A and B are shown apart, each in its own frame.
Chain A
Amino acid sequence: MAHDTAPTANTRLFRPGYEGHNQISARTLGFWLYMLSDALLFTALFAAYAVLDTPMNAAGGPIASQIVNPVEGFWQTIAILGSVTSYSLATVAMKNGNRGGTALGIVAAIALAVVFLAFGVNDLTTLAAHGDGMDRSGYLSAYFVLILTHAIHMGIGILWMLVMLVQIPRYGFNEMVVARMLNLRMFWQFQATVWVCVYVYVYMIGA
């Protein structure tokens, strides 16, 4: 081990002028770690869904194949992926310093996210209107809460985008705005990733 290396004339004890870490990198890494934590949250919900997805837990209520519609889910998939792609393209516009293009991409992302949410909300309210709400059975509880948790994430993302729409014209692309844009990109892409898992697991395997 280098423990006993004697100091030489070149040994430095201090490092004046050391710049330290990069603020944007620290923020994106921190946010990435938050997303891993969030991914574990969804993992736990998936585990709960797996346990409650049995005819016994449907308690006489509908089972997965009676409530999911894979074709409609496919339109949702296209909507959410479109939203994610337009937001990602907004960050490409940011790379080129194009404020207008960035704002346009964000607005398109919001619009597509609203389309996605409309499908989901319609599904859930229709079910609830037929008396198959989340209080009907253990299975429906798991289904509703899984879909709603994802929808709440989407809602938070939309709110965040609205804040960015105010901050970009106000501050331009300064360090903080850029860091937030990058974090939001990860957050938004992550919603698509979660949706792929939900779609495949709930809508397809359940069909």
Chain B
Amino acid sequence: MAGSHSDPLAHPEVRQGSAVRYIAGFISTVVLMGAALVVTMRHGLDYQSLVEVVGGLAALALLSQAALFYGLDISRAQIWKGVSLILTVPLFIITVGLTVWMFQSLDQRTMVMPASNAAASQPTLLQ
């Protein structure tokens, strides 16, 4: 509870704000998303490759945001944010990944598509 009576603007998280980094974060994300957009609009890839390429670009965009926007590093001010993020990221993957896996298998076993509908279908993560 002991409030620090020092200048709040001297706090490391205020000091770490940097115009160059934020603008770099903006540019890198826009460029990566632009690249993903180009890949998508050219329709040159099959579904699997599209997921991999676009997903990879998104992962790069997220990494650049982590470094450039959030400014995560291993300094004393930021270490617990990094640690908690690293502990949580597996949960994102587990939640979506295992769900997709189990419903993929479930749909194959229980939701056989009638042939007439096949024309309206498009590939999705479950198929």
Residues of A within 8 A of B (CB): 18-25, 28-29, 32-33, 36, 39-40, 43-44, 46-47, 50-51, 53-56, 58, 63-65, 70-71, 74, 77-78, 81-82, 84-85, 88-89, 91-92, 94-95, 97, 173-175, 177-179, 182, 185-186, 189, 192-193, 196-197, 199-201, 204-207
Contacts and interface: CB of A to CB of B under 8 A. Distances in A.
Main secondary structure of the interface of B (DSSP, over half): helix
A56 B127 CA distance: 11
Given A36-B85, A55-B121, A82-B26, A178 B8 contact: yes
B96 A196 contact: no
A22 B14 CA distance: 13
Contacts of A92: 17-19, 22
B17 A53 contact: no
B100 interface: yes
B8 A24 contact: yes
B108 to A, nearest CB: 11
Interface residues of B, number: 60
Nearest to B113: A56
Contacts of A77: 29-30, 33
Contacts of B23: 85
Nearest to B16: A95
3 residue pairs, one from A and one from B, having the closest CB atoms: A88-B22, A178-B8, A200-B58
B15 interface: yes
B74 interface: no
A92 B69 CA distance: 12
B91 A43 contact: yes
A111 B96 CA distance: 34
B54 A95 contact: no
Contacts of A78: 30
A88 B9 contact: no
A192 B70 CA distance: 11
B65 A189 contact: yes
Contacts of A47: 95-96, 99-100
11 contacts: A18-B2, A32-B84, A36-B88, A56-B113, A63-B120, A185-B17, A186-B70, A189-B69, A199-B33, A205-B51, A207-B40
B26 to A, nearest CB: 4
Contacts of B26: 81-82, 84-85
Q: Taking each of B25, B96, B100, which has the highest tally of chain A beta carbons within 10 Å of its own beta carbon?
A: B96
A64 B124 contact: yes
A178 B14 contact: yes
